[in-house]
Amino acid sequence: HVHRTSLVASAALSGRHGQAILLKNEHQQITGSFKLRGATNTVLSLSEDERRRGVAAASTGNHGRALAHAAEAAGARAVICMSSLVPDNKIEAIRALGAEIRIVGDSQDDAQVEVDRLVAEDGLVEVPPFDRAEVIAGQGTLGLEILEDAPGLEAVLVPLSGGGLIAGVALAVKTISPKTRVIGVCMERGAAMVACLAAGKPVAVEELETLADSLGGGIGLANRYTFSMVRELVDETVLLSEREIAGGIVHAYREEREVIEGAAAVGIAAVLAGKFRPAGPTAIVLSGKNIDRSAEHTSE
């Protein structure tokens, strides 16, 4: 159902640091991000009846794309709710993957109200982007692949937002190789999980504009799984400036010949900025390629 993506040494980064630095090319996943793993695992775990009623989500980004594709592949109905402010190209991209689109209100909150209604009145199953066991387990398959390809890793660098990706990867990695360190990386601007770890509980964090747009948003005040898993399993977190994230995107393009989005560039950026110093073989997860090109169109 998903690609087994490659793990490839970066000559540029390995040469600079005198350690093997490997890139997990998950931006080459179908639909352009790892989110397909969790969405697919969740859709395939539904009962026949649930699959018929369908799945719903309010994401217009990588999770929405992934859920639309996973549902289509499994013959399940998918309804993606979005606000009237979502640009046409994003709507069409998700419609093209086979999902039904509901346009409601003019905010993400309005779209979520419609998801809640579909769940309550029509019996659809909400598939959240990170805080569900099947989603976390699906993302964890990426960690299994990394360790199969590179058993003796000293560290794995993982982009961190709601924590579904790092929770799954860390559980897989620590189960197989307890000594391998798992490092979460995100932007300084609106680092929700890091603020929650500092507070000792899920707290509301203001969302700010960032190049790492797929890392925006909170972890949910009623967080059930990812907060405690991150607290238990993640060894360290690193925060990056916008300039440092830009450096990661540029390095990926110039030196690795890969187009990745800001959220996916944070691992490379942490190494380039000297905020993570590799002390042994290190894997960096490149999590997605869906860079927002709207700024480019505006300037054209």
Ligand X SMILES: *Cc1c(COP(=O)(O)O)cnc(C)c1O
Q: Which residues bind ligand X (CB under 6 A)?
A: 33, 35, 62, 129-130, 159-166, 214-215, 261, 263-264, 287-288
CA atoms within 13 A on the CB side of 240: 33
* Cβ nearer to ligand X, comparing 161 with 210: 161
Residue 202: CB minimum distance to ligand X, A: 14
* Cβ nearer to ligand X, comparing 38 with 281: 38
How far, rounded to the nearest angstrom, does the alpha carbon of residue 36 sit from its chain's CA centroid? Answer: 10
What Rg value do the Cα atoms of the chain yield, rounded? 18
Closest residue to ligand X: CB criterion: 288
How far are the Cα atoms of 85, 135, 249 from residue 45, in angstroms, in the given order?
A: 33, 10, 35
Residue 47: CB minimum distance to ligand X, A: 25
* Cβ nearer to ligand X, comparing 132 with 181: 132
Residue 193: CB minimum distance to ligand X, A: 7
Do the beta carbons of residue 23 and residue 284 sit within 8 Å? Answer: yes
- CA 163-183-263 angle, to 5 degrees, is 55
* Cβ nearer to ligand X, comparing 162 with 281: 162
Residue 66: CB minimum distance to ligand X, A: 8
Strands (E), the chain: 7-9, 21-25, 55-57, 78-82, 100-103, 125-126, 155-159, 181-187, 236-240, 282-286
* Cβ nearer to ligand X, comparing 129 with 202: 129
Question: Strand, coil or helix: what is 182?
Answer: strand
Residue 247: CB minimum distance to ligand X, A: 17
